[in-house]
Amino acid sequence: MGRYFPEKLCYLIADILTELRYIFTPHLKRVMKKNLKIILTYKYGENFKKEDLNKYLKETYHNFGRYMVEFFTIPKLNYKKVKKNVRIENIELLNEALLKKKGVIALTAHIGNWELAGVVTSILGYKICAIAIPYLTPKITEIYKKIRESKGVEVILTGSNPKDFVKFKKENKIMAILGDRVFTEKGTIIDFMGRKAIFPRGPATLAIKLKTEFIAGFLVRENKNNYRLFFEKINYPEPDWDEEKKIDYLLNQSAKIIERVILQYPTQWLNFQNIWVNKNEEKI
């Protein structure tokens, strides 16, 4: 649809489908509402007005609809559009990391449009690959894979040959990995938004075991047509620490950065799972 229809029509259809999804997905709505309540209570404290929660929730739903339109219109994206619509910050951090010729793991999260983050970076001339989980069927997985690869983003599916993870380092590529949801591992309990949450160890573990550079990068929506792609430094652990301590340190540093970005853009955090250790449902 995104390739053939005008973008305005795509966004209109997305808005209609979003309203229907808002009505017919009560379980998803409860999870999203709980996540938002935790974030906004942590951000605003006593100043958070609970009566505004539904407004934030609806906005989050619509941001997901926009994310989907943007994903399926990726084939239309080009260098001219990127230069016109994307504000780029701290890309020198990426350049400095690549100069060390060890490969770069770029931590990101389900914030804004993580798919566009990789695509925009690729369009700007960087060699990038992304870790992705297979979808429900091989056919759907292949559709998503082709869209990503249409703009030069190499896709490495979880469960792929381990040599693929080593290859990116030898070729000094950037590997984008989501770090705010556990997919194929047990995860580790950390402090997040003033609570205990479960985060994946994978990104930090890869960085330490492969001895690569490690930075964070996000693409968020500033308004209807404009975006902000920015990179942040992640402090590396002391060289004489043991491996597990290094991984724990990087994991906690990563979580702090993700937390800070979510607090800036709470309705653009599109992680629709309960990541909190205490799974008791709260009244919302």
Give pLDDT, residue 279.
52
pLDDT tens for each residue of 159-187? 777 777 788 999 999 999 999 999 877 78
Q: Is the pTM of this model over 0.85?
A: yes
- Mean pLDDT score of the chain: 91
Distance between CA atoms of residues 243 and 266, nearest Å: 33
Tokens found for residue 37: 């309540």
Q: Where are the beta strands (DSSP E) in 54-172?
A: 86-89, 104-108, 128-132, 153-157
Give the residue among 114, 109, 101, 155 at the shortest CA–CA distance from 132: 155
Residue 188 belongs to what H/E stretch? strand 188-192
Q: What is the mean predicted confidence (pLDDT) over 54-80?
A: 94
- Give, in order, the Cα–Cα distances in Å from 53 to each of 34, 41, 50, 58, 94: 10, 10, 5, 9, 37
Q: Is the pLDDT of residue 20 over 80?
A: yes
pLDDT tens for each residue of 70-119? 999 999 999 999 999 999 999 999 999 999 999 999 999 999 999 999 99
Q: What's phi and psi for 60, nearest 5 deg?
A: -65, -45
Please report the sign of the dihedral spanned by the C-alpha atoms of residue 117, residue 122, residue 127, residue 131: positive
- Tokens 């990789």 belong to 118
Q: Which residues contact 249 (CB under 8 A, 6 or more apart)?
A: 237, 241
Give pLDDT, residue 266.
96
Q: Is the pLDDT of residue 41 over 90?
A: yes
Q: What's phi and psi for 232, nearest 5 deg?
A: -130, 145
- Spell out the domain ranges in the chain: 85-268
Give pLDDT, residue 176.
96
pLDDT band at 284 (very low <50, low <70, confident <90, very high): very low
